[in-house]
Structure 1
Amino acid sequence: MAIEQAKISVGDLQRGMFVSRLDRPWARTPFALQGFYIRDLEEIRQLQKHCRYVYVDVHKTVGSAGIALRRLLDGSCGKQSRAASHVVIPCRPVTVVHGTYPPPQPARREAGNARKLHGQILQGMGEVMALVASNRPLPLRQVNRVVEDLVESVLRSPDAFTWLARVRHRDEYTYSHSVRASIWAVVFGRHIGLSRQALLRLGVATLLKDVGKLSIAREILQMRHRDPRSELAYRNFVQHSVQLLATDAQLDPEVIRVVQCHCERHDGSGYPAGLRGDKIPVLSRLCGIVTFYDEATNPRGASQPIAPSRAVAQLYDLRGVTYQEQLVVEFIQAIGLYPTGTQVELSSGEVGVVVEQNYGRRLRPKVMIVLDGHKRQLSKPRLFDLAAAEDRAEKLIERGKMGARKKIRILRDIEPGAYPEVDVAAVRDYYLFKGRGQLSRLISHLAN
């Protein structure tokens, strides 16, 4: 069905309007994620406090507000008001089945296997790129096999591989982006309940989507701002990728289709065919989102990744336009506002690293604290489970033994590099592979 929305200034809101989107992430406001009807003036005041504009579902809006809005957008008043802009993009909701797979195992249990597989994927991609450069057949059977193992590992424990996608190393390979994006894609697909076969197709396609870039001139690939002619030459990488993959008759055609359409965009602004909405395969839509997210968190030429909240905010601003809104919201839920590996500051002033998610309570992950409330280095890192701490605090509050303001929460995420003494890779190794060697390395780093 067509999604029909109107962009409305908060100064023009009325009772009876159905608010389907905000101009900022829902998690940063007191409102429900699913949207809501405006019932009274207090809700309008709250919207005016948190937003500049909102999107209103034209068909769900009721009463005199609904009649007036539909008349306005139908053009019966002569011309469209500057307060509202009409957005119609044909796109059916994607079937999402949460809880398809068993609850995740602890990351520590899967960490060793995930690290081994990560090394195999990097090695395999190195071989793929070398073969492409020498015009030799691609080892697609080996790629399929290692992605099958990746899928099974992520199904057991998404956090173990999320660590490997989040931590950036100095010796990055040119294809590290595709490896990270493939991990995000499988984590995303697991969250929405894709079948194993679909996860395999998505993982392989995301891993191989950029092989055609070896056919593009290096100077064009490295341009920060491409002129129209250079941009047109750059976009040819999609067709080059498709042609390379199509040489293997045994490769799943659906994988090639995902690669062919992963640069298409919800509003038709993508390439190579300018597809929009329903015309874009679902797996290609997922691939496009994870590609954007990884490129946003790891900007070209930057020495450090950026804080996830910035990348999420950029992605959220594109919902319903560049990317299907439903899938953007699902992806943010899949990785959480504070993905594993994120540096955070707590309301206590302490600084730590998110080491594992609490999947039922995404805003309350497990954090390894490394700096105290005065930003001084701890002699030994301390694991803090925000969900468990909140449960304890609630009991104390009920008994009158603690004030609600003393509950510890995440205040904000921190830009990587803001505290050079925080070594995220060392925290990861200490948490996942806990032992004397890792602790000594972490404490040694903190002491320097």
Structure 2
Amino acid sequence: MIKSIKSRELRVGMYVQKLDCAWVDHPFLVNSFHLKNEKMLNKVIAAGIENIDIDTSKGLDVLVVEPEQKTPPQTPPPVTKKKKKKIPVSKEERKARAIYKDGTNIIRNMMEDVRLGKQVEVESVNPVAEKVVQSIFRNPHALTGITRIKTKDEYTFMHCVSVTGLMVMFARYLKFSKEDIHEVAIGSLVHDIGKIMVPDKVLNKPGKLNFDEFEVMKDHVTFSREILENNPAISQMALDVAVLHHERMDGSGYPRGLAGDEISLVGQMSAIVDVYDALTSVRVYKDAWEPSQALKSMIEWSPGHFSRELVQQFIQCLGIYPVGSLVELKSGRVGIVLEQNDEEILRPKIRIIYNAKSKYYVEVNDIDLSKETKDRITAAISPKKYNIELSVFL
């Protein structure tokens, strides 16, 4: 969507479609570009350009600021509206499980329609997209914790829902508008729709793909584009999520080999989220990585594969110990991270399930480390260390 705004409304992450001046009168080589840092923002302001057209389908929208209400001096100041409290994970879990199940079923059915050559009704994902957005806004950790649990047979469908939760959480963290977050959710749900056209022997091969097989696998993005690009229910922002999530910042990705700012912001975000979810999931050819291991590797792969700045923001969004991580405490207790504490990021809420000293499972107990002054996390650990099956406790 094209919007005309004033220069004072510009912010990093927007996509500038047009500057209200001749090409020779501004300091950029092109008229349309992604505003990726403060330096570029300052150049626009320094050039004295007042009116700018932005494309909200390719970048961030305008921040909506409520107008300040003027109060007569003789009256007391208005009561400050309290920030809406986050619903506890325990109260959101039931709804999150239902969303995960419904989303998985809808994606499975949609992909089956594609396989059978039927008309794809992309509109059918709208209700699930909205439910994911609502769940993340109520509590960003319930759905993203539950979607860590996947089965090998259902991975492709579950992965789509899991990526959606993470993308909505990330977009919310980056202060996208509610409208844009919904478009991100739609694009994420259908981002791998073309995989149904890949032969099962390639898609579910329990080992590394050879060169020819990988070339076949890469075709899924082209299939997705063909299915989605002319569908009126798919915005440009949603399409970018689907067709750009395998592009890389250094141009080494596919299918087009785009690099740097040629990849839209949501395209860069979806590349990060897609890889993170794939690494931390059990696949037919590998075990799941621990979240901390995945994030450390992704930092090492930046800025080649990913925007380092965006990866760091994604880590801040997830927290030091992402939801679903298994951690060991100084006391010997072992638990699963349920929810972050925004004020104390090193002391999240945890579900205690095991005692490392006695080597026994214990009665499940949810604790808030921010309220326990004597205990603390000493390490993020692999479930294999104590043969723990996380799915039993989530």
- Normalized against structure 1, the TM-score is what? 0.66
AA aligned opposite 2:166: W
Determine the structure 1 residue equivalent to 2:134. 152
Task: Flag the 1:365–1:96 CA change in 2: closer, same or farther, 3 A.
Answer: farther
Residue 184 (structure 1) aligned with residue 166 (structure 2): yes
Q: Is the 8 A contact 1:185 1:206 kept in 2?
A: yes
Match of 1:409 among 364, 376, 380: 376
Q: Is the 8 A contact 2:142 2:338 kept in 1?
A: no
SS at match of 1:355: strand
Residue 334 (structure 1) aligned with residue 300 (structure 2): no
Determine the structure 2 residue equivalent to 1:239. 222
SS at match of 1:418: helix
Task: Flag the 1:368–1:133 CA change in 2: closer, same or farther, 3 A.
Answer: same
Determine the structure 2 residue equivalent to 1:289. 272
Tell me the CA shift for residue 222 of structure 1. Answer: 3.6
Structure 2 gap ranges (5+) = 1-33, 38-58, 66-82
Match of 1:168 among 133, 150, 164: 150
Determine the structure 2 residue equivalent to 1:300. 283
AA aligned opposite 2:375: I
AA aligned opposite 1:385: D
CA deviations on 1:312-371 (whole Å, 9 max, x unpaired) are 111111122210011100111111232222211112222112122212222211122222
Output the CA distance in 2 between the equivalents of 1:171 and 1:276.
34
Q: Is the 8 A contact 2:353 2:365 kept in 1?
A: yes
Determine the structure 2 residue equivalent to 1:348. 331
Q: Is the 8 A contact 1:343 1:413 kept in 2?
A: yes
Match of 2:345 among 352, 358, 362: 362
Task: Flag the 1:383–1:251 CA change in 2: closer, same or farther, 3 A.
Answer: closer
AA aligned opposite 2:393: V
Residue 275 (structure 1) aligned with residue 258 (structure 2): yes
Task: Flag the 1:196–1:363 CA change in 2: closer, same or farther, 3 A.
Answer: same
Q: Is the 8 A contact 2:348 2:369 kept in 1?
A: yes
Output the CA distance in 1 between the equivalents of 2:362 and 2:258.
56
Output the CA distance in 2 between the equivalents of 1:213 and 1:378.
40
The count of corresponding residues between Structure 1 and Structure 2 is: 321
Q: Is the 8 A contact 2:325 2:380 kept in 1?
A: yes
Output the CA distance in 2 between the equivalents of 1:383 and 1:215.
44
Match of 1:195 among 160, 177, 189: 177
Q: Is the 8 A contact 1:91 1:277 kept in 2?
A: no
Task: Flag the 1:211–1:95 CA change in 2: closer, same or farther, 3 A.
Answer: closer
Determine the structure 1 residue equivalent to 2:36. 92
Tell me the CA shift for residue 97 of structure 1. Answer: 11
Residue 125 (structure 1) aligned with residue 129 (structure 2): no
Aligned-pair RMSD on alpha carbons? 2.6
Taking only the aligned residue pairs, the percentage that are identical comes to 29
SS at match of 1:119: helix
Output the CA distance in 2 between the equivalents of 1:182 and 1:324.
20
Task: Flag the 1:213–1:373 CA change in 2: closer, same or farther, 3 A.
Answer: closer
CA deviations on 1:264-314 (whole Å, 9 max, x unpaired) are 111111112211111101111111101000111125325753221111111
Determine the structure 2 residue equivalent to 1:8. none
Tell me the CA shift for residue 129 of structure 1. Answer: 1.3
SS at match of 2:247: coil
Task: Flag the 1:265–1:360 CA change in 2: closer, same or farther, 3 A.
Answer: same
AA aligned opposite 1:298: S
CA deviations on 1:70-127 (whole Å, 9 max, x unpaired) are xxxxxxxxxxxxxxxxxxxx982387999x9955321123222222222211111121
CA deviations on 1:353-394 (whole Å, 9 max, x unpaired) are 21222122222111222223514335523333211223xxxx
- Normalized against structure 2, the TM-score is what? 0.74
Is the deviation greater in 282-291 or in 224-233?
A: 224-233
Output the CA distance in 2 between the equivalents of 1:107 and 1:211.
30
Tell me the CA shift for residue 174 of structure 1. Answer: 3.3
Output the CA distance in 1 between the equivalents of 2:120 and 2:139.
30
Tell me the CA shift for residue 257 of structure 1. Answer: 2.9
Q: Is the 8 A contact 2:192 2:224 kept in 1?
A: yes
Write the mapping of 1:29-44 to structure 2, written as runs, cut at 5 A: none
Residue 427 (structure 1) aligned with residue 393 (structure 2): yes
Q: Is the 8 A contact 2:208 2:285 kept in 1?
A: no
- State which structure, 1 or 2, has the greater radius of gyration over its C-alpha atoms: 1
SS at match of 1:257: helix
Write the mapping of 1:220-239 to structure 2, written as runs, cut at 5 A: 220-223=202-205, 224-239=207-222
Output the CA distance in 1 between the equivalents of 2:241 and 2:152.
31
SS at match of 1:345: strand
